[in-house]
Amino acid sequence: MPAIVELALAKINLSLHVLGRRVDGYHELSSVVAFADIADRLVIAPAEHNVLFVSGPFASDVPLGEDNIIWKAWAHVRAQMPVPCVAVQLEKNLPVASGIGGGSADAAAMLRGLLRLADVQLDHVQISGLAAIGADVPVCFVGQACLMEGIGEKISVLTEQLPPALVLVNPLVPCATAAVFKVMGLKLGDTRPAPARAEWRNDMTAAAIQTQPVISNVLSALQKTALSPVLMSGSGATCFGIARSFEDAQLLAAEIAALQPQWWVKPARLG
């Protein structure tokens, strides 16, 4: 059987509202999610044993053992249906712990590849159940603009027109979601009013800046350009600014990269 290629597109939280913390400890979210055309790349082929090979600019940050989220995805599917062992070649182009769903996108791409190999599909309930692997896995599995709610298990595909392009900037520092939630300090049972869905806001920004203060510098650098609005994605540290066109995104990304050559700066189209 020929190898299967899957792209793990960068997940962008165009808005992210934290609505509270459930009594089981999970945080309730409401987020408009889109995907940028910059991605990790997985090549998946049947094998006698599971094995992972990693290349790319962020290869050294990827764990190779069973704790890698792609193997959690494999185990999740294997518990429900027969799937083969696989050899996976992962080209790691997205920074890790960066708020753009790198690990979750990899897991989702692994799932799509496994299901193609097994020639099966998941129903809506099974897709929602992927949140057991990671909160962003269901939306990354769907891979198109969605409203994501609950703890990530409620996914509604959106038909609204998206902005054409954006510039992604990451200062190359990890920003763990658990650490940001800890700084936010919501107690069990705490709730917040739900804002209008169209409100461009990320409720995790202030806590992320406390966790990694350099995020403030990234936002400031983006705000000094013609990009608007400027926001943080996920729990950080990646931030973005919306561009009027991909050509504008390319020009403005080059300006930022020239001023901050140590940062990861990428223009991208939204889809």
Q: Where are the chain's structural domains?
A: 4-157, 165-269
Q: Tokens 């190779």 — which residue?
A: 64
Rounded Cα–Cα distance for residues 179 and 182 (Å):
5
What DSSP string runs through 164-218?
Answer: SEEEEEE-S----HHHHHHHHTPPTT-B-PPPPTT---BTTHHHHHHH-THHHHH
Give residue-wise pLDDT tens across range 115-145: 999 899 999 999 999 999 999 999 999 999 9
Q: Which of 40, 92, 106, 136 is flagged as catalytic?
A: 136
| Other residues' Cβ atoms within 10 Å of the Cβ of residue 109 | 28
CATH architecture of 165-269: 2-Layer Sandwich (3.30)
75 pLDDT higher than 90: yes
Quote the pLDDT of residue 197: 59
pTM of the model as a whole: 0.94
Give residue-wise pLDDT tens across range 176-185: 999 999 999 9
Give residue-wise pLDDT tens across range 142-166: 999 999 999 999 999 999 899 999 9
221 pLDDT higher than 80: yes
Give CA torsion, residues 259, 262, 264, 265, to 10 deg: 10
Query: Are residues 143 and 113 in contact, defined by beta-carbon separation less than 8 angstroms?
Result: no
Quote the pLDDT of residue 271: 83
Quote the pLDDT of residue 194: 76
Evaluate whether the domain defined by 4-157 bears CATH number 3.40.630.30: no
The yes-or-no answer on residue 187 being catalytic is no
Percent of the chain with pLDDT strictly greater than 90: 90
196 pLDDT higher than 70: no
The yes-or-no answer on residue 72 being catalytic is no
